[in-house]
């Protein structure tokens, strides 16, 4: 887990922040937010808010009172205590890609399977740059829809000992995740004391929470498990074609969700989420890795700090590219770098995202790990002291010499510079003799070798058996 002690890059003035405040307050109070779940409407009605059908018009001061109940930082435990993470402050947590129905393996694009899901969990476990495999790294389309969440949670719990994300496709699926988490950690009391599963609740933008996500939110909130509340905003489709308008909408939608979580269980951890990009106005397709999304990211971190909430950035290594090429890499950097600069606390889609989130790519996974490794090295504060000034090396080499054989160099050459995972620094002749492999081919070799060397983290037989029994029983109850 990275501690990002670098200064934050903030681009909004005090006047701009005040204007955005007026914007989100008008949206929640004059237009309102739709909540398509009776339980949610009842909570707001009981709290004295205006409920008109399924639309809730919120008093902005009430919203701020609820937001203030959420902790600014919290711990998320893993079954291996050494893998537990702290969310908030200067801490950055990185999670793998999420939600893709397809996978790409080399030149082959196909539907994702359970084997792919397990492979991607193993890769997430193997690379220390990732703090969590996340949740739905891909959709295992060879498993029944009604019960595949059981298989995914079981794989996350047994193939990795890092924190994981829970199912959010329905309330019962969330309840299954919570029960399996109780089994893994030793009971409800243990996970209520320190949360053990985190989940993402997406807003069905504009200005609507659907019943399935709300049902999942209610389950997790009542169990005291943190949720990441994220408006999904593509400017021109789900929000106006203006970054400021979209920021105001994003804030309105997210804070309304935070308020609901605090009504359900005051003090429940939440992460203020952002996912802001734009629509291609020529094709109507979503665009990722754009300047507009980068600007939105830089603003998003500043806004979250204003409310004292941990922040999930809207990138990740996002890209619209259909293959693992230069576009895939430079667009990924365009969304990953601003997340570092803006001080993100939780970064989803940090490895593997391709084709606007439709594809989990093995090769892109490794390319993104390289990007993460480089940025994590870049964001370690520079130490300037007598030792790093290396005056003794100057004294030894003098004028016109070289430092390759200097004592200072020989003592440090193994670790003094970043050593790439994927990148090639060979001269042309050597590179050509070794097969002339491009970055995608080298990445393919790395992920295959990583899976060959994977070692499953130990888990007590009794716990594993209880989890298996639960999965089998619930699958039968669901008719699968």
Domains annotated for the chain, with CATH where assigned, are 2-9+67-378 (3.20.20.480), 383-417 (no CATH)
Measured distance between the N- and C-terminal CA atoms of the chain, rounded to whole angstroms: 39
- State the average pLDDT for the chain: 97
Can you name the residues that pair with 208 across neighbouring β-strands? 34
Question: CA 420 to CA 372: how far, in whole Å?
Answer: 11
Residue 275 is predicted with a pLDDT of: 93
- By the 10 Å C-beta count (0-12 exposed, 13-18 middle, 19+ buried), 456 is classed as exposed
Residue 213 is predicted with a pLDDT of: 96
Give the pLDDT band (50/70/90) at residue 480. Answer: confident
Structure-token match 């990211």, residue found: 297
Residue 314 is predicted with a pLDDT of: 84
Q: What is the pLDDT of residues 164-218, one digit of tens each?
A: 999 999 999 999 999 999 999 999 999 999 999 999 999 999 999 999 999 999 9
Q: Which of 197, 170, 204 is nearest to 95 (CA)?
A: 197
The arrangement of strands across the sheet holding 55-57 comes to: 50-52, 55-57, 33-35, 208-209
Rg of the chain taking only CA atoms, in angstroms: 23
Give the pLDDT band (50/70/90) at residue 315. Answer: confident
Phi/psi at 178 (5° precision): -65, -45
Would the pLDDT of 474 be above 90?
yes
Give the pLDDT band (50/70/90) at residue 31. Answer: very high
Question: CA 14 to CA 19: how far, in whole Å?
Answer: 9
Is residue 337 within 8 Å of 301, Cβ to Cβ?
no
Return the percentage of the chain with pLDDT > 70, whole number: 100
Q: What is the reported pTM?
A: 0.97
Give the pLDDT band (50/70/90) at residue 317. Answer: very high
Phi/psi at 399 (5° precision): -85, 135
Q: What is the pLDDT of residues 394-447, one digit of tens each?
A: 999 999 999 999 999 999 999 999 999 999 999 999 999 999 999 999 999 999
Q: What is the pLDDT of residues 322-381, one digit of tens each?
A: 999 999 999 999 999 999 999 999 999 999 999 999 999 999 999 999 999 999 999 999
Residue 30 is predicted with a pLDDT of: 98
CA distances from 327 to 289, 318, 376, 443, 445 (A): 9, 10, 22, 16, 21
Is residue 207 within 8 Å of 245, Cβ to Cβ?
no
Phi/psi at 291 (5° precision): -60, -35
User: What does the block give as tokens for 255?
Assistant: 């804070």
The SS3 of residue 93 is strand
Angle between helices 38-46 and 211-222 (to 10 degrees): 60
Is residue 389 within 8 Å of 470, Cβ to Cβ?
no
Is residue 181 within 8 Å of 191, Cβ to Cβ?
yes
Return the percentage of the chain with pLDDT > 90, whole number: 99
Q: What is the 3-state secondary structure (H, E, C) of 108-159?
A: EEEECCHHHHHHHHHHHHHCCCCCECECCCCCCCCCCCCCHHHHHHHHHHHH
Provide mean pLDDT across the span 242-256.
Answer: 98
Question: CA 96 to CA 138: how far, in whole Å?
Answer: 10
Beta-strand pair 227-231/233-235: unpaired
Question: CA 393 to CA 391: how far, in whole Å?
Answer: 5
């Amino acid at each position: 887990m990275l501690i990002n002690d670098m200064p934050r890059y903030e681009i909004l003035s005090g006047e701009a922040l005040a204007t955005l405040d007026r914007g989100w307050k008008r949206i929640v109070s004059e237009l309102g937010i739709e909540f398509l779940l009776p339980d949610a409407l009842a909570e707001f009605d009981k709290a004295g808010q205006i409920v008109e059908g399924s639309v809730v018009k919120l008093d902005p001061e009430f919203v701020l009172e609820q937001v203030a109940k959420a902790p600014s930082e919290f711990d998320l435990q893993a079954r291996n205590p050494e893998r537990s993470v702290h969310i908030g402050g200067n801490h950055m947590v990185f999670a793998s890609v999420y939600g893709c129905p397809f996978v790409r393996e080399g030149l082959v694009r196909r539907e994702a399977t359970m084997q792919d899901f397990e492979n991607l969990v193993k890769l997430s476990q193997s690379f220390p740059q990732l703090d969590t495999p996340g949740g739905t790294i891909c959709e295992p389309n060879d498993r029944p829809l009604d019960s595949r969440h059981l298989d995914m949670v079981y794989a996350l719990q047994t193939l990795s000992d890092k924190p994981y994300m829970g199912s959010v496709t329905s309330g019962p699926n969330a309840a299954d995740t919570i029960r399996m988490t109780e089994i893994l950690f030793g009971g409800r009391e243990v996970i209520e004391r320190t949360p053990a599963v985190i989940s993402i609740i997406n807003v069905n933008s504009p200005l609507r929470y659907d019943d399935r996500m709300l049902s999942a939110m209610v389950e997790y909130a009542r169990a005291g498990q943190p949720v990441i509340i994220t408006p999904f905003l593509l400017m021109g489709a789900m929000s106006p074609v203006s970054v400021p308008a979209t920021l105001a909408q994003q804030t309105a939608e997210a804070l309304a969700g935070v308020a609901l979580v605090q009504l359900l269980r005051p003090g429940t951890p939440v992460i203020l989420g952002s996912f802001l990009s734009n629509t291609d106005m020529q094709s109507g397709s979503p665009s990722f890795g754009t300047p507009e999304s980068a600007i939105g990211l830089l603003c998003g971190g500043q806004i979250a700090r204003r409310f004292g909430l941990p922040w999930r950035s809207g990138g990740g290594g996002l890209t619209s590219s259909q293959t693992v090429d230069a576009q895939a890499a430079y667009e990924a950097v365009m969304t990953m770098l601003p997340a570092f600069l803006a001080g993100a606390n939780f970064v989803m889609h940090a490895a593997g995202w391709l084709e606007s989130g439709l594809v989990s790519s093995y090769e892109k996974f490794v390319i993104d790990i390289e990007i993460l490794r480089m940025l994590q090295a870049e964001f370690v504060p520079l130490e300037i002291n007598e030792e790093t000034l290396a005056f003794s090396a100057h004294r030894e080499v003098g004028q016109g010499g070289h430092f390759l054989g200097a004592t200072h160099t020989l003592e440090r050459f193994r670790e003094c510079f970043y050593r790439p995972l994927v990148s090639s620094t060979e001269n042309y002749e050597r590179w050509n003799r070794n097969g002339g492999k491009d970055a995608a081919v080298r990445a393919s070799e790395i992920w295959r070798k990583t899976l060959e060397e994977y070692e499953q983290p130990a888990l007590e037989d009794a716990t594993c058996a209880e989890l298996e029994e639960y999965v089998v029983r619930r699958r039968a109850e669901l008719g699968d």
